[in-house]
Amino acid sequence: MLKKYFTLFLYYICCIPVWGQEKQPVDPAYISRYFKEIKKATEQGFGVWNKDLYGNILLVDPATRQLYSNNPDLNNALKPNHDIYQGTLPDDINIANTSVRWGGKVWAMIMLPLPDDKYERVNLSVHELFHTAQASLGFAQNNKESKHLDQKEGRIFLRLELQALKKAILAATANEQKKHLSNALMFRKHRNLLFPGSDDIENQLELNEGIAEYTGFAISGRTKEQAKMHFISNVETFIENPTYVRSFAYVTTPIYGYFVSLKDKNWNREISAKTNLTDFFIGKLNIKIPDDLKSIPDKVIEEYDGLSIIAQEKSRDEKIQAKIAEYKARFIEKPHFEIIFEKMNISFDPRNILSLEDKGTVYPNVRVTDNWGILEVNKAALISPDWGRISIDIPEKINGSTIEGDGWILKLKGNYKVGKDEKDRNYILIKQ
């Protein structure tokens, strides 16, 4: 059974070109200016939730684990340096853009380097600050996987929805805009009809990451033209992601929220954790959805580059099926190394995961800390559907407490060692 006490870190940065940026020198004066910038932005954005979202922030350098914060911790691990605090993040804490409980406080953790663009910088920071405050606003953190968005039809109708949203953003008239928004939501409703129950799963991620991203956008201070450019760039970047199952809400919710905000800037204060955002947006935008959604007219699909999208997704699906067969062989049929979670913290990149249906999900890049130690994977690992265990390739090298395999390294602690189940030939961890 999955332990109830685990922390999930998503180190996803929605469409922000932080990866690969040139590393900025970490100057305490620069960090101080950044904290003041975010404090001012959240003060000016107080009206978004009638709440000042400015709170505890941890900036962390992934290369050195060096920390920079705006507030002290309760364990005195952070030392004052002028008007900021510095320290080192312990190895058993995963690095991610996330909210994290550490040092007796809840923090918004943000990875360095920060985006060069001020609007992106504020957007990212406020997104993570929202996560530290969302419980007080009545929103639980929930990141269920929309596995249907790894299937051909699911991806096709999400991409059609996004194409319609792009056209709505670029529309020259109100009527044209409404037409494209109507079609976007029609594609969504059709997708949910194809995959029963998917509306609820998608809604949970949109209420979590989607609302956090909308909040970051709303407080970023972009002009209307800057907002349009931002959304178009986000859609075009997102479409290139290998998978959409955990990341679509970063793109969809802010766009719908933006259009609703043009009519009612305080719309987000009307929603709760029980709100169906799709139906809420349909109502707020005064959109009529056809009663019969069993099929979409070909001419509507073709208007949004549907023929090209269908051909691309058919080709992708053929390749994905081969990849699924490969992963099932590696992590299910052949001997492998299976590790049970006890008190797990995990971080991963949700942009490139792959669902193996009822067998679990493959994560190419993942870092796990647990009672037994630290596991870092940079090729592939399978996590069970109940989040109770992780499977990797068999060990190739055991050197004391350090165990290595193809694309992974495990550093054990305590009284744990690697053993082998002679019945199924799988490697396991044994507590001595």
Q: Which pTM does this prediction carry? A: 0.89
Give, in order, the Cα–Cα distances in Å from 42 to each of 39, 219, 287, 311: 5, 7, 33, 45
* Mean pLDDT for the stretch of residues 241-245: 92
- Mean pLDDT over 352-356 rounds to 89
If one compares 172 and 351, the residue with the highest pLDDT of the two is: 172
* Mean pLDDT rounded to a whole number for the chain: 92
Contact between 206 and 275 under an 8 Å Cβ cutoff? The reply is: no
Average pLDDT over residues 141-158: 91
Q: Sorting pLDDT into bands at 50, 70 and 90, what band is 414?
A: confident
The pLDDT, as a whole number, for residue 426 is 95
CA distances from 309 to 153, 203, 223, 276, 314 (A): 11, 24, 31, 28, 9
For the beta carbon of residue 431, count every other beta carbon within 10 angstroms: 12
- Sign of the Cα torsion 389, 392, 394, 395 reads negative
Compute the residue count for the chain: 432
Q: What is the pLDDT of residues 11-48, one digit of tens each?
A: 433 333 333 344 455 899 999 999 999 999 999 999 99
- Give pLDDT, residue 12: 39
Whether the Cβ atoms of residue 333 and residue 422 lie closer than 8 Å to each other: no
Identify which of 104, 159, 94, 135 has the alpha carbon closest to the alpha carbon of residue 316: 159
Grade residue 243 by pLDDT with cuts at 50, 70 and 90.
Answer: very high
pLDDT in tens, 287-299: 999 989 999 999 9
Mean per-residue pLDDT, 192-213? 97
CA 389 from centroid of its chain's CA atoms:
21
In the numeric block, which tokens belong to residue 60? 């962390």
Q: Report the C-alpha gap between 57 and 128 in whole angstroms.
A: 9
User: Distance between the two ends of the chain, CA-based, in angstroms?
Assistant: 21
Cα distance between residue 17 and residue 357, in whole Å: 31
Would you tell me how many other CB atoms lie within 10 Å of the CB of residue 341?
Answer: 21
